[in-house]
Amino acid sequence: MRRVSILGATGSIGQNTIDLIDRAPGAYDVVALTGGRNIAQLARDAIRLKADVAVTAHNECLDDLRDALLGTGVEAAAGQGALVEAASRPADWVMSAIVGAAGLPPGLAAIQQGATLALANKETLVAAGPLVMRSAYQSGSTVLPVDSEHSAVFQALGGEAMTSVERVILTASGGAFRDWPIEKLHSATPEQASTHPNWDMGQRITIDSASMFNKALEVIEAKEFFALRPDQIEVLIHPESMIHAIVGHVDGGMMAHLGAPDMRHAIGYALHWPDRAHLPVERLDLAKLGQLTFRAADTTRYPALALATRVMERGGMAGAAFNAAKERALDAFIGGHIKFTEMAEVVARVLDVLEADLGHIEAVFDLDNILKMDHLAREEADRVMARAL
């Protein structure tokens, strides 16, 4: 039996992973499931899947988790240390699907114990790409992409040498506001931003799709994952979300990956890799679809994309700063404290401040310093918002 752990089991990616595991009774031995505040779901799945341990990220939720697991034989634990401990338990395959930079330490722990890491948590590579890749090399862990665009690139590459790759095109639906007049964007509410035209995802990534911060993170993730230069990565608006990415080769040939917008494809691909297995996803009927459309991505409408280029060119700790500032700005938008269009302004100002101190950006690239930068950027984002917005 294959030993698997799911970090972020109660979320959208986590539940889709469990859906696939449920369809193969007896094939998987579940080691650890982790969640946040959704204790009922975490306990229900941990009992049903006979997990060794269930962990909540929040210490104050431990009593509820203990009560829910009483007499079931599933161990209960809580807190950041327990997340890392759970991720360190020997497993063959670990899904990294915690949302935000909180996913970095447990994801890294899974890599360090040598598991195959299915990486949905893009923030891990944005904040700590070189550290993650170095750790995987040292432990012999395989990191597989789960973000649909990166899974698509991985599949379109089909094992070809990266020297044959001229460019990589990541597609984007354009999010909830792609057809709104730019002048109206400042009035967008969290509720309006939480509806995605094609994908069913967690709230934070859905809002990040509307602002294109999600695509900005993915551009940086692609650079780190596939060791690309910033000028090799393009973003293309593709409202139908059927083509997930295109690899352009030096001979002018382009390999596109198509599939229905259902995360179970990318999750299942990572679960069964290097083989393929039957997956319960819709098959595309291209004749019925009729046409696929494309438009250029506009950095005036989507300033997050220009910020991604800035971060990639800056390198070092800029990714960690960018992600943390974005997370704070997103918290503030969801909380109704800043406008939709102010999120990019906050992030740009945080980068202005932190980039001015090279000691910060060029510090030794280890987990401690990355987490320090994450903390610093959150504080700076709060200062920027308190001062100017």
User: Rounded to the nearest whole angstrom, what is the least distance from the CB of residue 158 to ligand NDP in the complex?
Assistant: 22
Round to whole Å and give the CA distance between 23 and 30: 14
Round to whole Å and give the CA distance between 99 and 257: 25
258 touches 265 (CB < 8 A): no
Q: Interface with ligand NDP includes 57 (CB under 6 A)?
A: yes
- The nearer residue to ligand NDP, 66 or 249, going by C-beta atoms, is 66
What is the phi-psi region of residue 333: left when phi exceeds 0, alpha when psi lies from -120 to 50, beta otherwise?
alpha
For 280-339, give the DSSP string: --PPP-HHHH-----EE--TTT-HHHHHHHHHHHH-TTHHHHHHHHHHHHHHHHHTTSS-
Q: Interface with ligand NDP includes 216 (CB under 6 A)?
A: no
171 touches 192 (CB < 8 A): no
Using alpha carbons only, what angle is made at residue 27 by residues 21 and 30, rounded to the nearest 5 degrees?
A: 65
Round to whole Å and give the CA distance between 154 and 379: 36
Q: Interface with ligand NDP includes 17 (CB under 6 A)?
A: no
- The nearer residue to ligand NDP, 199 or 365, going by C-beta atoms, is 199
Among the residue ranges 31-39, 127-135, 177-185, 308-316, the one whose residues contact ligand NDP (CB under 6 A): 31-39
- Residue nearest ligand NDP by beta-carbon distance: 11
Q: Which of 108, 109, 120, 308 binds ligand NDP (CB under 6 A)?
A: 120
Count of residues that bind ligand NDP according to CB under 6 A = 27
Hey, what amino acid is at 152? A
Q: Which of 123, 262, 374, 380 binds ligand NDP (CB under 6 A)?
A: 123
- The nearer residue to ligand NDP, 244 or 360, going by C-beta atoms, is 244
Round to whole Å and give the CA distance between 51 and 269: 23
User: H or E element: which one contains 248?
Assistant: strand 243-249
Among the residue ranges 8-16, 164-172, 185-193, 292-300, the one whose residues contact ligand NDP (CB under 6 A): 8-16
Q: Interface with ligand NDP includes 10 (CB under 6 A)?
A: yes
User: Rounded to the nearest whole angstrom, what is the least distance from the CB of residue 25 to ligand NDP in the complex?
Assistant: 23
Q: Interface with ligand NDP includes 193 (CB under 6 A)?
A: no
Q: Which of 199, 258, 367, 372 binds ligand NDP (CB under 6 A)?
A: 199
Chain positions contacting ligand NDP, by CB under 6 A: 8-14, 35-38, 57, 97-99, 102, 120-123, 147, 199, 201-202, 204-205, 263
